[in-house]
A and B are shown apart, each in its own frame.
Chain A
Amino acid sequence: MPNGTTTADEAMKGPQGVAREPLVLNNRSMNWITERICGVVENRQPLLWWVLFLPSLALAGLLAFCLVYLVSTGVGVWGNNQPVAWGWAITNFVFWIGIGHAGTLISAILFLMRQRWRTSINRAAEAMTLFAVMCAGIFPVFHVGRFWMAWFLAPIPNANAIWQNFKSPLLWDVFAVSTYFIVSVIFWYLGLVPDLATIRDRCKPGIKKLLYGMFALGWRGGNRHWRHYEMGYLLLAALSTPLVLSVHSVVSFDFATSVVPGWHTTIFPPYFVAGAIFGGFAMVLTLMIPARAIYGLQDLITHKHVDNMAKIILLTGSIVGYAYIMELFIAWYGGNKFESDAFHMRILSGPYTTYYYCMFFCNVISPQIFWFRWARHNLWVVMAVCMCVNAGMWFERFVIIVTTLARDFVPGAWGFYKATWVEKSTFLGTFGFFLMCFLLFLRFLPVIAVGEVKGVLPESNPHHGDDEH
Chain B
Amino acid sequence: MNGTATATAKPPFGYLAEFESVRAVYKAAEKVRDAGFKHWDVHSPFPIHGMDEAMGLGRSVLSWLVFFGGATGALTAFILQGFTQIALYPTIVQGKPANLNTIPAFFPVIFELTILFSAFTVLFGIMGLNQLPRLNHPLFSSKNFCRFSDDGFFIVIEGRDSKFSKEKTKAFLEEIGAKEVELVEDDA
List residues of A whose CB falls within 8 A of some B CB: 1-3, 7-8, 29-31, 34, 155, 157, 161-169, 171-172, 175-176, 179, 182-183, 186-187, 189-190, 194, 197-198, 200-202, 213-214, 217-232, 235-236, 239-240, 242-243, 246, 250, 253, 450-452, 454-455, 459-466
Q: Which residues of B contact A157 (CB under 8 A)?
A: 89
A201 in contact with B150 given A163-B85, A175-B113, A464-B22 (CB within 8 Å): yes
Partner of A464, one of B23, B42, B109, B147: B23
Partner of A183, one of B59, B116, B147: B116
Binary contact track B78-93/A, C-beta < 8 Å → 1, others 0: 0011001100110101
Chain B, Cβ-Cβ closest to A175: B112
- Do the beta carbons of A223 and B126 come within 8 Å of each other? no
In the complex, how many angstroms separate the beta carbon of B117 from the nearest chain A beta carbon? 10
5 further A-B pairs in the complex, CB-CB below 8 A; given A201-B147, A239-B115, A239-B119: A167-B105, A222-B41, A223-B43, A240-B115, A460-B46
Q: Which residues of B contact A459 (CB under 8 A)?
A: 21-23
- Do the beta carbons of B149 and A197 come within 8 Å of each other? yes
Q: Which residues of A contact B89 (CB under 8 A)?
A: 157, 161-163
Q: Which residues of A contact B60 (CB under 8 A)?
A: 227-228, 230-232
A34 in contact with B48 given A218-B133, A223-B41, A239-B118 (CB within 8 Å): no
- Do the beta carbons of A186 and B22 come within 8 Å of each other? no
Chain B, Cβ-Cβ closest to A157: B89
Rounded to whole angstroms, the CA-CA distance of A246 and B150 in the bound complex is 38
Partner-contacting stretch, out of B49-57, B161-169, B170-178, B179-187: B49-57
Q: Which residues of B contact A31 (CB under 8 A)?
A: 150-151
Chain A, Cβ-Cβ closest to B150: A34
Q: Which residues of B contact A462 (CB under 8 A)?
A: 22-23, 25-27, 48-51, 54
Q: Which residues of B contact A175 (CB under 8 A)?
A: 108-109, 112-113
Q: Which residues of A contact B116 (CB under 8 A)?
A: 179, 182-183
- Do the beta carbons of B115 and A179 come within 8 Å of each other? yes
In chain B, positions 66-121 with a C-beta closer than 8 Å to chain A are 66, 80-81, 84-85, 88-89, 91, 93-94, 96, 102, 105-106, 108-109, 111-113, 115-116, 118-120
In the complex, how many angstroms separate the beta carbon of B152 from the nearest chain A beta carbon? 9
**Pairs of residues from A and B, 10 with the lowest C-beta to C-beta distance, nearest first:** A462-B26, A3-B49, A30-B151, A217-B133, A201-B146, A231-B60, A226-B47, A455-B46, A222-B41, A198-B149
Q: Which residues of A contact B55 (CB under 8 A)?
A: 223-224
Partner of A228, one of B120, B130, B148: B130
- Do the beta carbons of A219 and B132 come within 8 Å of each other? yes
In the complex, how many angstroms separate the beta carbon of A234 from the nearest chain B beta carbon? 9
- Do the beta carbons of A461 and B52 come within 8 Å of each other? no
- Do the beta carbons of A236 and B119 come within 8 Å of each other? yes
Q: Which residues of B contact A465 (CB under 8 A)?
A: 23
In the complex, how many angstroms separate the beta carbon of A373 from the nearest chain B beta carbon? 33
Rounded to whole angstroms, the CA-CA distance of A194 and B22 in the bound complex is 18
Would you call the interface of chain B mostly helix, strand, loop, or mixed?
helix
> What is the interface size of chain B, counting residues whose CB is below 8 A from a CB of the partner?
71
Q: Which residues of A contact B135 (CB under 8 A)?
A: 213-214, 217-218
Rounded to whole angstroms, the CA-CA distance of A31 and B148 in the bound complex is 11
Partner of A218, one of B48, B93, B136, B147: B136
Chain A, Cβ-Cβ closest to B25: A462
Q: Which residues of B contact A194 (CB under 8 A)?
A: 45-46, 149
- Do the beta carbons of A166 and B84 come within 8 Å of each other? yes
- Do the beta carbons of B119 and A183 come within 8 Å of each other? yes
- Does B6 count as interface, using CB distance less than 8 angstroms? no
- Do the beta carbons of B126 and A229 come within 8 Å of each other? yes
Rounded to whole angstroms, the CA-CA distance of A454 and B84 in the bound complex is 51
Q: Which residues of B contact A29 (CB under 8 A)?
A: 151
- Do the beta carbons of A172 and B151 come within 8 Å of each other? no
Q: Which residues of A contact B115 (CB under 8 A)?
A: 179, 183, 239-240, 242-243
Q: Which residues of A contact B141 (CB under 8 A)?
A: none
- Do the beta carbons of B150 and A190 come within 8 Å of each other? no
17 contacts between A and B (CB under 8 A): A1-B47, A165-B85, A167-B85, A167-B94, A169-B108, A179-B112, A182-B116, A183-B116, A222-B41, A223-B51, A231-B62, A232-B60, A250-B108, A451-B149, A462-B27, A462-B48, A466-B23
Rounded to whole angstroms, the CA-CA distance of A132 and B21 in the bound complex is 40
Kindly name the residue among A29, A229, A250 whose own CB sees the greatest number of chain B CB atoms within 10 A. A229
- Do the beta carbons of B42 and A223 come within 8 Å of each other? yes
In the complex, how many angstroms separate the beta carbon of B78 from the nearest chain A beta carbon? 11
Binary contact track B5-49/A, C-beta < 8 Å → 1, others 0: 000000000000000011101110100000000000111111111
- Do the beta carbons of A176 and B112 come within 8 Å of each other? yes
A228 in contact with B62 given A166-B84, A223-B51 (CB within 8 Å): yes
Q: Which residues of A contact B118 (CB under 8 A)?
A: 235, 239
In the complex, how many angstroms separate the beta carbon of A153 from the nearest chain B beta carbon? 13
Q: Which residues of B contact A200 (CB under 8 A)?
A: 149
Rounded to whole angstroms, the CA-CA distance of A189 and B119 in the bound complex is 12
- Does B2 count as interface, using CB distance less than 8 angstroms? no
Chain B, Cβ-Cβ closest to A166: B81
In the complex, how many angstroms separate the beta carbon of B139 from the nearest chain A beta carbon? 6
In the complex, how many angstroms separate the beta carbon of B30 from the nearest chain A beta carbon? 10
Rounded to whole angstroms, the CA-CA distance of A197 and B183 in the bound complex is 23
In the complex, how many angstroms separate the beta carbon of A41 from the nearest chain B beta carbon? 14
- Do the beta carbons of B102 and A221 come within 8 Å of each other? no
A182 in contact with B119 given A30-B151, A227-B60, A451-B46 (CB within 8 Å): yes
Q: Which residues of A contact B188 (CB under 8 A)?
A: none
Q: Which residues of A contact B133 (CB under 8 A)?
A: 214, 217-218
In the complex, how many angstroms separate the beta carbon of A76 from the nearest chain B beta carbon? 28
Q: Which residues of B contact A455 (CB under 8 A)?
A: 46-47
Rounded to whole angstroms, the CA-CA distance of A231 and B47 in the bound complex is 11
Q: Which residues of A contact B25 (CB under 8 A)?
A: 462
Q: Which residues of B contact A240 (CB under 8 A)?
A: 115
Chain B, Cβ-Cβ closest to A176: B112
Q: Which residues of B contact A214 (CB under 8 A)?
A: 133, 135
Rounded to whole angstroms, the CA-CA distance of A171 and B135 in the bound complex is 41
